[in-house]
Amino acid sequence: MTSKPQTARNRAPSARSRTTSIRLAADIGGTFTDVAAFDEKSGRMLLGKTLSTPRRLVDGISEAVAKAGAEYRAASIFLHGSTIAINTMLERSGAKTALITTEGFRDVYEIGRINRPDAYNLYFKKHEPLIRRSLRFEVRERLTAEGDVHIPLDEASVHAVCDSLEPLGIEAVAIMFLHSYRNPAHEMRVKEIVQQRFPNAFVSASHELSQEYREYERCSTVAANAFIGPRVSNYVAGIDEHLKGESFAGSFLLVQSTGGLYESAQAREQCIRMLESGPAAGVIGAQALCNAIGLQDAIAFDMGGTTAKAGVIYKGEALTTGGAMVGGYETGLAVQIPMIDIFEVGTGGGSIAWLGEGNALHVGPVSAGAEPGPACYGRGGTAPTVTDANLILGRLDPERFLGGEMALDVEAAKNAVDNKIGKPLKLNTVEAAAGVLRIAATTMSLAVRTVTTERGLDAAAFPLIAYGGAGPLHASAIAREIGTARVIIPRAPGHFCAFGMLFADLRYDFVRTWPGRLATVDFAAMEKIYGELIAEGGSALERAGAGNLKRRITRSADMRYVGQEHAVTIELPEALFRKQDRGGIKKAFDAEHQLRYGTCAPNEPAEIVSLRATVTGVMKKPALERIAKGSAAPPKAATLGTRMVSFDNRKAVVKTPIFIREALKAGNRIAGPALIEEHASTTVVFPGDRLSVDPYGNLLIDIGRG
């Protein structure tokens, strides 16, 4: 995945960063830490991978940087994505947090939307707030929906709340007032008071994160930001200090859930924007790959050691959403921030297989992680995992895992699978291992279907771009589950999320609730609001020291039919907007509604709910390098012998040729069954599949239908 030289523009370049040409990108997952280092002068891409270090995550980054043969001090930009924000929220391991809200609205956070996703589930449980009721406090104030002061802020009640907080050991405070998206004055004043009273606390106000209506979603968002804030902020600050200690003098930028970049100082305050930072980078990498090979639509599938994630590239762009339910729709907590639409399941290489009620076989969501890891790692793990199953079936080489850096223990894997799965189910070891992989593939196909069918897209019509260390191992099986005809394995798939960071841009998203009927909307007033949002984005780029970057501006609007509750987001092309073409806007909305829900109402009036603007500072990108051409037959240097591999749940094994990926040439063709091995991943080509190598070194697998 090397690239041709490019010239980077970055924020506030120092004297050192002006003379360096290395861009470092680090992605920390639950099991592995990946680093991609791109040298703009030589066009070389250096890669490093190591087990994550949960006790001190920055150590894993440094080890991966060293394995890549790079140095912090030689880098002009350090890009980073991490799962720390989402893990802190899902594990509920955040700070002791208090909520300050408008008098009479203390329970909005717990009441939520009173939705019951499964009407017939007698054991259904509502979401559990991150902040318990005894730590939610009210102050006297009230704004109208227009932002006018209905009841002035009673500062005495604010101080009374602070008096109550003092003996409680509060580490973070969330502030959410009704209609503060219209007028943040009361929130700003209360934040000032709280910071004066508690200078060491993490304090977050809702208007800083969301300027949309819906008080529950705004409350849930600011509560989550405060809850994860101390841990994430300290983590980012720790990396910042570590970089300075390593003589790094460039720009430290983090990946947002939108796939865009933002400064570390902003990340320390708006931590919630990092929820899906690592997975989002992978989708951005998939989008860059699509652009390079002329592909308009694709599913981005990322399977690492702990989870599997899926996103969608549609018409050349990564699909986004204005919010998500973290933890799942049924019991999750709402977060109202822009993000790439990603669905995640707890199935990765380290996911533990276990037997539930009635000896039903399950895989995940609990993971063996990096410590102790799968049983075959030989680090003390005894639970059977997906990686153990792959090793038993011959799909992984115990001597060449991670390029031979880490030997795998086949007997430990067999003992774990046999003792915990095989014997209780009266299956032999191979049958039990195959069952684990079948359950895993079915679970992961759910993630793919969720990001496609819920948007009205046919998953079978989209090629699957599979990456992550475990993605190529399972891509063909998942393709069979969803019915897609082609799988694409990019170069260095085990480092693909870190690689995707190199294609990210500085990005700022702004939204403002502004309801009005489309038939009577004042375009001049709309343009004024868009102008304010765009100017805000320009100021953000200037503050980041990136005012010299080329800017890309996208306008969109949340729209719905009059009488509906929820809206869909449509892009407003500038030409359509300049012409004040109400009919064209309505047609665009009808088309999006038809795609999303399978129906539309062209004769029904529509209304605008919110206006959105995205301001992007476009950074220089690496260019994908073409590989040498070859004939249809792979060169002898690419062949590595054979291994007996099982591809189904029977005892039968198949003599399977093995190829070295780095030695393959463009135009090579391989008929399945086959294994394609590289440093951090193995691609499984099933019997009946046909593989070809494209000019960029991507593996294109046409799925057999036999």
128-178 confidence digits (pLDDT tens): 899 999 999 999 999 999 999 999 999 999 999 999 999 999 999 999 999
Residue 57 has a pLDDT of 83
**Domain residues for 652?**
636-702
Task: Provide the β-strand partners of residue 3.
Answer: 624
- Residue 623 belongs to some domain of the structure: no
Spatial strand order of the sheet with 681-685 comes to 639-645, 654-660, 674-678, 681-685
Query: What's 460's DSSP letter?
Result: G
Helix or strand (DSSP H, E) at 654 = strand 654-660
Query: Is residue 630 situated within a structural domain?
Result: no
Looking at the domain assignment, is residue 612 inside a domain?
A: yes
pLDDT band at residue 1, thresholds of 50, 70 and 90?
A: very low
- Mark whether 368 and 454 lie in a shared domain: no
Owner of token pair 């209360």: 190
Average pLDDT of 644-651?
Answer: 76
Read off the pTM: 0.87
pLDDT digits (tens, 9 = 90+) for 16-38: 334 457 889 998 876 778 898 88
* Shared-domain flag, residues 388 and 435: yes
Separation of alpha carbons 433 and 530, rounded Å: 56
For β-strands 251-255 and 75-82, DSSP reports them as: parallel
Please say whether the beta carbons of 677 and 397 come within 8 A.
yes
CATH of the domain at 248: 3.30.420.40
CATH number assigned to the domain comprising residue 557? 3.30.1490
Domain boundary among 450, 485, 501: 501
Rounded Cα–Cα distance for residues 111 and 600 (Å): 32
The residue type at 303:
M
Same domain, 296 and 158: no
Cα dihedral 140, 141, 145, 146, rounded to 10, equals 170
| Helices within 454-513 (DSSP H only) | 471-482, 496-501
H helix intervals, 42-144 = 57-67, 84-91, 108-111
217 plus 245 within the same structural domain:
no
Specify the pLDDT at position 649.
Answer: 56
Answer whether the bond into residue 372 is a cis peptide, omega within 30°.
yes
Q: What is the pLDDT of residue 8?
A: 31
337 and 471 in a single domain? The answer is yes
CB 310 within 8 A of CB 304: no
Q: Which residue has the tokens 């009266």?
A: 426
Q: Are residues 289 and 390 in the same domain?
A: no
Same domain, 204 and 108: yes
DSSP tag of 121: -
**Predicted pLDDT of residue 6:** 31
Highest mean pLDDT among 13-17, 357-361, 683-687: 683-687
Spatial distance between the Cα atoms of 466 and 703, rounded to a whole number of angstroms? 14
Taking only the tens place, the pLDDT of each residue in 615-631 is 999 888 888 889 999 99
Residue partners of 17: CB distance under 8 A and separation at least 6: 10, 76, 77, 249, 250, 251
**Statement to judge: residues 243 and 318 lie in one domain:** no
pLDDT of residue 123: 76
**Mean pLDDT, rounded, for 592-596:** 88
Assigned domain for 261 exists: no
What value, to the nearest 5°, has the Cα angle with vertex 653 and ends 649 and 655?
Answer: 145
Alpha-carbon span 496 to 76, nearest angstrom: 21
pLDDT tens track for 439-476: 999 999 988 888 888 778 888 999 999 998 899 999 99
Which of these ranges, 243-252, 325-334, 589-598, has the smallest mean pLDDT?
A: 325-334
pLDDT over 80 (residue 582): yes
- pLDDT tens-place string over residues 33-67: 889 888 877 778 888 888 888 778 888 899 989 88
* Buried/exposed code over 429-439 (b: 16+ C-beta within 10 A; e: otherwise): bbbbbbbbbbb
Give residue 548's pLDDT.
82
User: Do 134 and 205 have their domain in common?
Assistant: yes
> Residue 665 to residues 59, 118, 290, 626, 699: CA-CA distances in angstroms?
37, 52, 20, 10, 10
Task: Determine, yes or no, domain membership for 262.
Answer: no
pLDDT category at 694 given cuts 50, 70, 90 is very high
Amino acid at 92: R
CATH of the domain at 284: 3.30.420
Give me the amino acid identity at 692: S
Tell me, yes or no, whether 201 and 99 share the same domain: yes
Q: Residues of 388-402 as b/e, b for ≥16 C-beta within 10 angstroms?
A: bbbbbbbbbbeebbb
Residues 96 and 181 both lie in one domain: yes
Q: Which residue, among 652, 698, 695, has the nearest Cα to 673 in the 3D structure?
A: 652
- Can you tell me the distance from the alpha carbon of 288 to that of 318, in angstroms, rounded to the nearest whole number? 10
Residues 6 or more apart whose Cβ sits within 8 Å of residue 539: none
Domain count across the chain: 6
Co-location of 102 and 201 in the same domain: yes
